Amino acid sequence: MTTTILVLVLAVAVGLSLGLLGGGGSILTVPLLTYVAGMEPKQAIASSLFVVGATSIMSTFTHARAGNVQWRTGLIFGVASMAGAFIGGLAGGYIPGVILMLLFAVMMIATAVAMLRGRRNKASAEEKEQLPMGKIIIEGLVVGMVTGLVGAGGGFLVVPALALLGGLPMPVAVGTSLLVISMKSFAGLAGYLTTVSIPWPLVLGVTGTAILGALLGARLTRVVPEKALRKGFGVFVLVMGIFVLSQEIPTLLGG
C-alpha cells in the first residue's frame, strides 16, 4: 500500500513535466514504474506509453484553449511519429529488458545535455516561410521509433524539431508537441501490446494522478520561468540517467 501511494504521489511530477515543458513524462515514468513500482522493464515501458499518451491528450486541450497548438503541423509530425513508434514498440518486445533500459539511460543523458545547453526559441523568417515538410516527416519517423522502442525521447526531441524545423514559437512548440506525443505514444503502445501485458489498475491510477499534475503544469506555464525550470530539470534527468546506468550495467555484465 505504501509503495502504491508513493508511486501515485510521484506521478504528479510526470504530469507537471508534461504540462510545463511539453515533454519529460516518460523520462520520469519508466524509472518510477521500474524501480519504485517493481515492474519489468518492458512492462514499465509499455505502461509509460499509456500514461504519457493519456496525460498528453488532456494537456493538449488545455494548451489549445490558450491558442498554443498548431494542429496541421502537429498532425503531420504525429502521423509520421505514429508509424515510427509502432515499429519501435514492435521491435522492443523482442529486445532484452536490460538492453532497453541501457538505451533508455543513454536517451536520458542525451536529453539532459540538450536541456542544459538550451535551444533556439524560434526559427528565422525564411525558415517560417518555407516549412520543410520532408524533414519534419523524417524527423517524426526517427523520434517515433525512439519513443516506441524505449518509451522515451518524446517531447524533448519533438519540441526542438517543431521550433527549429517548423519555425514555431516556444509556447506553441510545447503545446503542439503534446499532440504529437499522445499520437505516437499510443502507436508505440499498440506495438508493445502484441507481446507485453499491462497491470491496468495501477497504470490507470498513475495516469489519473499524472493528468492532475499536467493540468496544473499547463496553468503554471505563464508563471514559472521556463529557462530556470528546464535547467534544474536537466540536472535531475542527468542524475537519473547515471543512476539507471549504474543499476543496469552490473546486470548486463553479470548476465
Mean pLDDT for 62-77 is 89
Least confident of 16-20, 45-49, 82-86: 16-20
**Quick one: pLDDT at residue 219?**
79
**Quick one: pLDDT at residue 130?**
46
DSSP the chain: -HHHHHHHHHHHHHHHHHHHHS--HHHHHHHIIIIIS---HHHHHHHHHHHHHHHHHHHHHHHHHTT---HHHHHHHHHHHHHHHHHHHHHHTTS-HHHHHHHHHHHHHHHHHHHHH---SS--HHHHHS--HHHHHHHHHHHHHHHHHHS--SHHHHHHHHHHTS---HHHHHHHHHHHHHHHHHHHHHHHTTT----HHHHHHHHHHHHHHHHHHHHHTTTS-HHHHHHHHHHHHHHHHHHHHHHHHHHHHH-
**Quick one: pLDDT at residue 126?**
41
**Quick one: pLDDT at residue 156?**
67
Mean pLDDT for 51-80 is 89
| Residue 237 scores a pLDDT above 80 | no
**Quick one: pLDDT at residue 127?**
42
Least confident of 84-88, 126-130, 149-153: 126-130
**Quick one: pLDDT at residue 146?**
82
pLDDT, tens digit, for every residue of 182-195? 988 898 899 889 99
Q: How confident is the model at residue 226 (pLDDT cuts 50, 70, 90)?
A: low
**Quick one: pLDDT at residue 152?**
66
Question: Regarding predicted confidence, which is higher, 107 or 245?
Answer: 245
pLDDT averaged over every residue in the chain: 82
Q: How confident is the model at residue 166 (pLDDT cuts 50, 70, 90)?
A: low
Mean pLDDT for 18-38 is 82
